A and B are shown apart, each in its own frame.
Chain A
Amino acid sequence: MGAAWSTVRVTRGMHAAPVRWNWQPWLLLAPSLLFLFAFTYWPLIQVLQRSFVDQAFGGAASWGVGNYTRLFADSHFSRASWNNLVYAAATIVPSVILALAFALRLRETTLFTMTLRTLVVLPLLIPLVAAAALFTFVFLPGEGLLDWYLAPLGLRAVNWLGSPTLALGAVAAITVWKNTGYYMLFFLAGLAGVPAELLDAARIDGAGALSRFRHVTLPMLGPTFGFVLPMALANALVQVDQVVTVTQGGPSDSTNLLLYYIYQQAEQNHDAGLAAAATVISVAALLSLTVASLRSMERGIHYES
């Protein structure tokens, strides 16, 4: 055991270096590492490996790209990929813009703004399936909330969730409703970090409200966008509960999303190869989009400042 002794330097040089067992950090990290390995790293390795195993009916397994060939030939998968891109744009853009708008107007702390903040944050607390249940009534043709109250405007008996052209937008609306308040909290925190002197200085220099927002506030919110955008991207891939419960990917595949496709292959069709290949593609897409969004934002901030 003597070999395990090691001196560990304390970062604050003033103090004498205490002597610690070298295995201690590993003992402390072991539980986390065990579960991270089992449910994050191992699944990644496993899913990559499984996606390259071709399993013929009753035949022997062999290495190959058969799963990917089948995946790319499957029109449901290409539809789900396209839908997911649309869903990402239709959820991220409105929820981030609305969150920022709410935060800008509600940044001061008064009874009025705090009440409004609470109303906008509430959907964060309820399950997405509960939101979906409420929205099936919002979108119910005829007696539902939208039709009932928009009837005077001439909208009548629109089958929001049953129409191939409208359903994806309706599904996205549920997500926007649920996430806006969450993202607003981060923008509120980000805005609290914008120094008032900077805004005052800009005002004295004659900058209008729009120009102050564009040249002072927005660049200062860079770090906030830096974690809201990756989170929103991941959410666009992961938040599919309302598709599972309400639309089941339909009508005619118009709300089929990648994770729903994966769920169907794994759970209903028991096609592990196809599920693995679709997971690999989804993870790769998420990682590259996240890196790309962070890169382009970094450039944007750099340019602004």
Chain B
Amino acid sequence: MNRKTAQVSSGLLAAVAAAIWAVPFAWMAVASLRPGVPPDIAALWPHGELGLGNYVDAWQSGDFPTWYINTVLVCAGILAVQLVTITMAGYAFARMRFRGRDTLFVLFLVQLLLVPTLLIAPNLTTIVTLGLYDRLAGIMAPYFASAFGVFLMRQAFRAIPRDFEEAAMLDGAGLFALIRHVLIPLARPSLVAFAIVSVTFHWNEFLWPLMAVSSPNKQVLTVGLASFASGSEAGGEWGVLAAGTVLVAGPLLLLFLLFQRRFVSSFMFSGLKG
């Protein structure tokens, strides 16, 4: 087999594998547009009667407005606090020398492995003690500090030439003015990368939001989808289930397709870890 045929056949193999990867999405899109319970509900090509009836049913059987608002609030709240904490700590690790810095850095490292999801049992006790149980703030609190974010910002600040800061300092800028007006604008790409990873993670998170709140009006999209899905599965309403899944996963999928390059480079960042 020469090089050319090897190239073509491996390309064919990759195309088939990628197509298999896309099947659940294709089914989701097609089934969501086919109202009722067609016998060939597994069809991957839209045919027969098409319409938005499944979306209407899904919207009415779940509390989507509340779930959207809560999810946006949780993602925005976590991100807002994270951006402050990681910028401050990232600067300290990038530019300052102080006793115990390296030990502290290792202590930060611990969080990379011991993700809060693993510590759901003790964290539940903590938010109950703090009076945050059944509040959106309780869902957010474990994520306010981000070791990954701190490393990302430390790298970003290190890449900025010191001359910028020295010039600003000579102009009499204080530390916080320096960070806000000089360093943050220069580190914006890293902040955007972090924001994309953070929002994707928290939009999609399930187990912790499930444990941290109990009132229906505090639920986020993933928790809502879980209860919604078990209902429509029990009723065999697969088209409604597909529509509900589109409503939950759609916003991020759309953003991804629009800003693909940004997303991909951000996720590549997320593996660098420092």
Contacts and interface: CB of A to CB of B under 8 A. Distances in A.
Instruction: Say whether A and B bind each other.
Output: yes
Interface of A: 8-12, 15, 18, 20, 22, 24-29, 31-36, 38-44, 46-47, 50, 98, 101-102, 105-106, 112, 115-138, 140, 143-145, 148-149, 177, 180-182, 185-186, 188-189, 209, 227-228, 230-231, 234, 237-238, 240-241, 244-245, 259, 262-263, 265-267, 272, 275-276, 278-279, 282-283, 286-287, 290
Interface in B107-142: 107-108, 110-111, 113-126, 141-142
A134 B23 CA distance: 10
B74 interface: no
Given A36-B111, A47-B119, A102-B17, A126 B96 contact: no
Contact of B144 (A35, A132, A149): A35
A124 B271 CA distance: 14
A31 B84 contact: yes
Interface string B1-42: 000001000110111011101111101100100000001111
A115 B249 CA distance: 20
A186 B268 contact: yes
Contact of A119 (B18, B117, B118, B123): B18
B9 to A, nearest CB: 11
A188 B207 CA distance: 30
Given A137-B238, A143-B42, A259-B120, A127 B203 contact: yes
A228 B271 contact: yes
Contact of B264 (A123, A140, A185): A185
Which of A118, A127, A149, A267 gathers most chain B CB within 10 Å? A127
B86 interface: yes
Contacts of A185: 264, 267-268, 271
Nearest to A16: B166
Contacts of B56: none
Contacts of A237: 118
A-side interface mostly: helix
B98 interface: yes
Closest 9 CB pairs between A and B? A43-B122, A35-B145, A148-B42, A127-B204, A126-B249, A28-B92, A39-B142, A275-B121, A32-B89
A272 B125 contact: yes
Contacts of A181: 21
Interface stretch (B47-55, B184-192, B221-229): B221-229
Contacts of B207: 240-241, 244, 259, 263
Contacts of B175: 24
Given A25-B101, A127-B222, A231-B271, 12 more contacts: A24-B175, A36-B145, A39-B119, A98-B17, A105-B13, A106-B14, A119-B22, A123-B21, A126-B252, A127-B225, A129-B226, A244-B207
B80 interface: no
Contacts of B116: 39-40
Contacts of A98: 17
A116 B10 CA distance: 13
B230 interface: yes
B95 to A, nearest CB: 9
A32 B226 contact: no
